Structure 1
Amino acid sequence: MLRPYRQLAGVPHLVSLLLWSIVGRVHLTGTPLALSFLVAGWTGSYALAGVVGGALTLGLGVAGPVRGRAADRAPASGLLLVTGGLYGVGIAVLGVLPTVLPSGAWPVAALAAFLTGLCTPPVTQLTRASYPRMVKGPVQQAVYTVEASLQEMMYIVGPMMAAMLVAFASPRTAIWACGVLAVAGTLGFLFALRRAGLDEPVARPESHSGKTLLADTGLVLSLLVATTTVMTLVSVDMVIIAWARDLGRPAMAGILTAVWGVGSVLGGLIIGGLRGEPRFALRIGLMAGGVAALIPVLPPILTPSSPWLIGAVLAVGGLAIAPAIAANNARVGGLAPHGRRAEAFGWMTMATTAGSALALPTAGWLLDHVGPAAAAGSATAAGLVGTVLALRVPKPAPEVAEAETSA
């Protein structure tokens, strides 16, 4: 079980690149929570908080393919410097708006959030596109799984950091801290990428130069699976935030999210060391089942709800999250043409952020008018749709299928 991880640790520069990529992305998990508290406190509405949060993620998604295409064609360092600086300015502005504008001006915050999202540094795309350049075979699947597990650690550290800052300082402090972390992490990742010799893009085959990646049905289906997966996960995040805020204990949101993430990390690390081909649809289905188990333990079905019971369900259900994400990432990387993987993961960013933009207002409306159980039900429905789609995603061609030779 540990062999792929030992091989991974021996690859020059890989561990440094992976760790800096996590530092450069952890703000992505804390910012939505901080922004939700900021806007909900400003406007008094979860639905409007969802709209502003959805605008941020929509901006991130719209620009994803463009940034990925740019990274495939030119040195990454320039792109990281420009986007990192602009993103930091945008986050600073978002923190100021509730102080200088009345709550009725929330559309200004939505516009600012969208523009900020457009400038999000493409650390995720560049990281995932670099793995096939550094490792092959079972080790490549292991690194995707480790990354998915560390990504779940981001869902522990980021929201917990934001929740604690909200509870003991203010939502403004929390969102500004996320902005500082974004800029610092982007710079660290930039230097790690240079040390690994991956700043320059790889040459792409002429046969793939003029084709749109969206002409590949298998790749499109895998992107849609990513959309439904994120719809599931961000809806549960919103449920946890709303439940904790209504309880009058905002720090509980960070604690429960951390419990959920710990389960995911453990599931990812165990599965990542096993051999055998990943069962893509099964992993997505298990994730949906874990979310479905939340429905009966949330209001209005169970009132009052127990934090211990909700935490137990999250811990067990979380075991399936990282394996599902890892399988989806590996499938996208395997189906993408050589020399265009950053663009493919840019489209994946668009797909996942579109999922957030769709799910956040929906979950917010259900929380305002029905309750947390209904919002968890919508998250389950998205996961079930993803399971059906995953059944139709083809395996990569034999020459790149080695990326999926472990569990």
Structure 2
Amino acid sequence: MLQPYRELAAVPRVPGLLTWATLGRLHMTGTPLAMSFLVAGWTGSYALAGVIGAALLTGLGVAGPVRGRTADRRGAAGLIVFTGVCYGVGLAVLAFIPVWLPSSWWPLMAVAAFTVGLFNPPVIPVGRAIWPRLLSGSALNSVYSVDATLTELMYAVGPILAATLVAAVNPEVSLVISGALATMATLGFARMLKLAGLGGPVPTTQHTKSQRAGLFNVRGVIASLALSFFLVSALLMVDMTIVAWARNVGLPILAGVLGAVWAVGSAVGGLVAGGMTGKPNLTRRVVLNLVGVAALVPVLPPVHDPASPWLIGLVLLLGGAAIAPAVATANARLGELAPETRRTEAYGWLSTASTAGFAFAMPTSGFLLDHGGPSFAAGGAVVMAVFGVLLAMRIPAAKPAPVPVLS
């Protein structure tokens, strides 16, 4: 089972690229929390904190495909350096707007947050797009599993670091440090891209018909993007459900504990899946993800009241093991389907689809929680996962063209 990981470690630059790509997304998991504390303390309103946080995410989603296409055509390294510096400076400015201006100026903060979101460095789409240029076969499947696993761990580590800085110092410092981490990590990632010879435009010897055609004309691309929307929606609805249940029972710390258990389950599942050889079955992995989400419905109130945190934790641990494998396989499939000259753009659209999933899941889960309770919100996540299964069944298998391994 360790053979694919040995293959990864043997390819020059892959460990360094994977490390810097992971660090380059750490800031994304902690920034929303720091921003929420900052704006809520400034305006006294969590609703306004949500509006401004949504503005930041909207900017990210709008610019994702544009940044991806630019990276494909003009090169990724220079773009990452430029956006990384602008984004770090932008977060520092956002941190001090509440210091400089009264809370009645919150619309300006929303506009500024949207603008900063436009400069979010495209580490995730670039990082996912380069792997088929370096790896093939089981090693390629493994790197996507490792990528998804490390992403899950960042979602556990990032908020904890941000919350610690908020509690120990203040939200302003937490947000400034988040921006500094973003800049430093993107600079490191850009340097690794140049060392690996991947910092320039995607090299092509000829523009084939598939490369000239629109990205959305490629069979399976739209279904892959929609699959990301539904997977992210389902996972966020589960996360919101756990947070709401923990608050309802008067033990908000349980939300963090259970979230960590969920992340650990995903990490273990991702590492095991990454060590398997052979072509992963996308539909099977999405079905397993559906089963893990559905198992939460009967262990939450009002179906099971009072609910047991131990039972919920067990379900999250086992069900979480299906998350990283499903996400990794979906990411890899999109990379196989997209033409080489449009691959980063495709992953930019994937970021947009994921952001849309966040935007849809937050109010939807809130409505279900208010009108039915945690098990109803978990049921909503099941519906999203079912749509994901139906889409996974429609995504064709694609065999990437053989690529040389860089030495």
Residue 19 (structure 1) aligns with = 19
> 1:47–1:373: structure 2 CA closer, same or farther, 3 Å change rule?
farther
Deviation of 1:21 (Å)? 0.4
Which residue of structure 2 aligns with residue 211 of structure 1? 213
Partner SS for 1:340: helix
Q: Distance in 2 between matches of 1:117 and 1:55?
A: 8
After superposition, the C-alpha distances for 1:78-113 in whole angstroms (9 at most, x for unaligned) are: 2112211221233234434555443x6654444333
Task: Determine the structure 2 residue equivalent to 1:338.
Answer: 340
Q: Measured at CA, do residues 157 and 380 of structure 1 come closer, stay the same or move farther in structure 2, by a change above 3 Å?
A: same
Number of residue pairs aligned between Structure 1 and Structure 2: 401
Aligned position for 1:375 = 377
Given the two structures, how large is their TM-score scaled by the length of structure 2?
Answer: 0.88
SS of the residue 2:220 aligns to:
helix
Distance 2:401 2:157 in 1: 37
Q: Judging changes above 3 Å, is the alpha-carbon distance between structure 1 residues 2 and 310 closer, same or farther for their aligned structure 2 residues?
A: same
- Distance in 2 (CA, whole Å) between partners of 1:175 and 1:295 is 36
Map 1:5-404 onto structure 2 (within 5 A): 5-39=5-39, 48-98=48-98, 100-102=101-103, 106-204=106-204, 205-207=206-208, 208-244=210-246, 252-299=254-301, 305-367=307-369, 371-397=373-399, 399=401
SS in 2 for 1:115: helix
Cα RMSD, aligned residues only: 2.8
Q: Which moved more, 1:6-15 or 1:83-92?
A: 83-92
Per-residue deviation, 1:234: 2.5
Moved more, 270-279 or 60-69: 270-279
The amino acid that maps onto 1:21 is A
Distance 1:200 1:98, change over 3 A: same
Aligned to 1:404: none
Aligned letter for 1:310? I
Query: Aligned partners of 2:134 and 2:95: how far apart in 1?
Result: 39
SS in 2 for 1:281: helix
SS of the equivalent of 2:340 reads: coil
| Residues in 2 aligned to 1:67 and 1:53: alpha-carbon distance in whole angstroms | 21
Contact 1:222 1:393 in 2 (8 A): yes
Deviates more, 1:344-353 or 1:107-116: 107-116
1:399 is displaced (CA, Å) by: 3.6
Amino acid at match of 1:85: V
Is 1:58–1:353's contact at 8 Å kept on the other side of the alignment? yes
Alignment identity in percent? 53
Task: Give the drift of 1:290.
Answer: 1.7
For the Cα contact (< 8 Å) 2:336–2:400, is it kept in 1? Answer: no
Farther off after superposition, 154-163 or 388-397: 154-163
Amino acid at match of 1:317: G
Deviations 1:266-305 (A, max 9, x none): 0011112122332212211222322233334445555665
How far apart are the structure 1 equivalents of 2:249 and 2:64?
A: 37
CA contact (8 A) 1:163 1:251 kept: no
* Partner residue in 2 for 1:405: none
Q: Relative to structure 2, which stretch is displaced further, 82-91 or 217-226?
A: 82-91
Which deviates further from its counterpart, 51-60 or 349-358?
A: 51-60
- For the residues of structure 1 that align with 2:74 and 2:145, how far apart are their CA atoms? 28
After superposition, the C-alpha distances for 1:347-380 in whole angstroms (9 at most, x for unaligned) are 1111111211222233344455654444333322
Look up the SS of the partner of 2:25 in the other structure.
coil
Cα deviation, residue 330, structure 1: 0.8
8 Å CA contact retained: 1:54, 1:358: no
Matched residue SS, 1:217: coil
Instruction: Report the CA distance shift for 1:10/1:194 in structure 2 as closer, same or farther (over 3 A).
Output: same
Q: Is the 8 A contact 2:80 2:122 kept in 1?
A: yes
Q: Determine if contact 2:138/2:279 at 8 Å carries over to the other structure.
A: no
Amino acid at match of 1:334: E
Pick closer, same or farther for the CA change 1:361–1:344 going to 2, 3 Å: same
Query: What is the TM-score with the length of structure 1 in the denominator?
Result: 0.88
In the alignment, structure 1 segments of 5+ residues that lack a partner are 402-407
Instruction: Please state how far the C-alpha of 1:177 moved relative to its aligned partner.
Output: 3.0
Distance 1:187 1:18, change over 3 A: same
Amino acid at match of 1:67: R
| C-alpha deviation, 1:317, in angstroms | 1.4
In the alignment, residue 186 of structure 2 is paired with which amino acid? T
Mapped to 2, the partners of 1:304 and 1:44 lie a distance apart of 33
Contact 1:47 1:368 in 2 (8 A): no
